[in-house]
Amino acid sequence: MRRFNGRNNGRLKIVPRISKHLLDPKVLQSWGFMGLQQRCLQLEMDKNVSIKPNTLRDFYVKHNIKNRVVGFRY
């Protein structure tokens, strides 16, 4: 029997309900100061969904969302 990793098993990691939440402009604006890892933790606390930062990054790239964290450099 051949086993597949997470990408090839046919299951969606980000279901449409979570996708709608992640694409909401209010959520994107309120999460503007967070990095990918912080956003994944917040998603786990809010929606009880555990995804990896690379999965969230791939989702943002697929939907043409710019993921920029506000920061200062001296």
Q: How far is Cα 55 from Cα 57, in angstroms, rounded to an integer?
A: 5
Tell me the C-alpha to C-alpha distance, in Å, between residue 44 and each of 39, 59, 60: 9, 16, 17
Tell me, what's the pLDDT at 32? 86
Tell me, what's the pLDDT at 33? 86
Tell me, what's the pLDDT at 52? 92
44 closest CA partner among 66, 5, 34: 34
Q: What is the mean pLDDT of each run of 10 residues along the chain (74 residues)?
A: 49 82 91 90 91 92 81 69
What's 7's DSSP letter? T
